[in-house]
Chains A and B, each alone.
Chain A
Amino acid sequence: MTLEMPAPTGARPVTVARLLAAGPEADLARHLACFGELNTTDRAAGLATQLEASGLTGRGGAGFAAWRKLAATAESRRALAGRPVVIANGAEGEPLSNKDLILLTHAPHLVLDGLLATAAAVRATTMYVYASQPGLSHIRAAAATRPDAARIRFLEAPEAFITGQATAVVNAIENGLAVPRDHTGHLTERGLKKRPTLLHNVETLAHIALIARYGAEWFRAAGTPDDPGTRLVTLSGDVPQPQVLEVAGGAPLTDILRAAGTDPARLRAVLVGGYHGTWVTQDQLDAPLSPAGLANLGGHPGAGILHALDRTRCGITATADILDYLAGQSARQCGPCRFGLPALAEAWRGMASGSGQHTPAIRLADSVDGRGACAHPDGTARLSRSALRAFADDIRQHAHGNCLRTSR
């Protein structure tokens, strides 16, 4: 089989056209013309090895090594825990993320390839696509044009922040309740109906489809040794145009912002990783968008979200608005989250108005952290802590009744 890597078409050096190389709304013919055929059965035996060599990490937010989940699922199957289930997760509840929709709209066949290849590798008998609308309709329509996708089941994810959390996905498919549930072990051991369950973000599966075709070495030809490949990034906030870019792994935040037409010098900070993410201040924007590059800032690429805050805007007000939203998105199942998140949002509202101190925010973030069925309280605490670090000067000024910024 002779497969050639698609020629890079990105005009700017930081952007790379891989996942979206087949062009807008690529149908099956254009998908095959661009990427070539993929025999998922032939590639099944070597897929785990290729994934390990590729260094691909999950693109849904947690950033777990893709091969480890595959290997753990295969191990559970061998331990007779049941026939595995593979789920493509395109529940994009994060309001600042748009990349899963872009992928499902323009490259649905790549996601289907990745799902089929992964299912073949772990000998799964059941496959699901769980995604928000309108992305679900796009991939469902794409699947209807190919016979090998006939056994895939499709389920719509409701519009809410937490519906993409791993146990919420399993709960939604099993019980129709798209809220997280209590869990002690890994889903790869005991997931959907207690079967070994391999859940990957749709972008992760699309990368797997390319690695299955072209191999680990090809994947590593883009990016850096510690952050190989590419990732989809959603840019929003104070940028000329909100957009999704495919960028090389390890690209500095400044380069990505410039590729989106934004002058980093104009910015106060960038929220990296979304509402559960980390504020990176203007002087730190040389950091690469990679797990290692953001680690000493307390950050992580998450689902590839960059939300820019202009230097004229107030980070405290911006953070208070996000915390209001996050408090409202609690599933209200777990007490510390149900009561703690509104209290934390109120503390930030107090800081924004100049009537409150920052000490309650420290205490409340510590109180909710790690005390829920899902990571919603942890992520909210992370955002609060990072904002206290990033906007410390503003917080002092607010306490004296002054705001350093000219607009909200």
Chain B
Amino acid sequence: MGQNTTAGAPARLHIDWTRCDGRGLCIELLPELLERDEWGYPAARSRSARSDIPIPPELIGAARDATALCPLLALTLSPAEELTP
């Protein structure tokens, strides 16, 4: 759980595919991690954990913005969002 996560450990960005409608804001905010698939939905560039994408510390700010700006509230950032100032 979040309390046990050490500072600087990667956060995870969870995509709720039942909410996602492919608006694409997250793709523009996190181009290092996400690309657009052929139907417009965000696709993790990494091959594993594609619904729970590991976020390196330097991208936590952008991931937080993506989470806040998603018009369909399809993103959840966990657990490091509570730990990063």
Q: Which residues of A contact B (CB under 8 A)?
A: 180-182, 184, 333-337, 339-340, 366-367, 369-373
Q: Scoring B residues 63 to 80 as 1 if CB is less than 8 Å from chain A, else 0, what string do you get?
A: 000000000000010100
The minimal Cβ–Cβ distance linking A368 to chain B, given in whole angstroms, is: 9
- Is there contact, CB below 8 Å, between B43 and A335? no
Which B residue sits closest to A179, measured CB to CB? B18
Q: Can you list 14 A-B pairs, Cβ within 8 angstroms, ordered by A?
A: A180-B18, A182-B18, A184-B76, A333-B17, A334-B20, A336-B17, A337-B17, A370-B51, A371-B15, A371-B17, A371-B41, A371-B43, A372-B17, A372-B51
Interface residue range, chain B: 20 to 34
Q: Which of chain B's residues 11-45 have a Cβ closer than 8 Å to chain A?
A: 14-22, 37-41, 43
Which B residue sits closest to A339, measured CB to CB? B39
Q: Which residues of B contact A (CB under 8 A)?
A: 14-22, 37-41, 43, 47-52, 76, 78
- Is there contact, CB below 8 Å, between B19 and A336? no
Report A-chain residues with C-beta under 8 Å of the C-beta of B14.
184
- Is there contact, CB below 8 Å, between B20 and A335? yes
A62 to B40, CA, bound (A): 31
B21 CB contact (under 8 Å) in A335, A367, A371: A335
Task: Report, nearest first, the 6 A-B pairs whose CB atoms are least far apart.
Answer: A334-B17, A370-B50, A182-B16, A333-B18, A339-B39, A335-B41
- Is there contact, CB below 8 Å, between B17 and A340? no
Which B residue sits closest to A364, measured CB to CB? B38
Which B residue sits closest to A184, measured CB to CB? B14
Which B residue sits closest to A335, measured CB to CB? B41
Which A residue sits closest to B20, measured CB to CB? A335
The minimal Cβ–Cβ distance linking B27 to chain A, given in whole angstroms, is: 13
- Is there contact, CB below 8 Å, between A367 and B38? yes
A373 to B16, CA, bound (A): 7
A366 to B48, CA, bound (A): 11
Report B-chain residues with C-beta under 8 Å of the C-beta of A333.
17-18
- Is there contact, CB below 8 Å, between A371 and B50? yes
Asked whether A334 and B18 contact (CB < 8 A) given A369-B50, A371-B43, the answer is: yes
A46 to B43, CA, bound (A): 46
The minimal Cβ–Cβ distance linking A245 to chain B, given in whole angstroms, is: 37
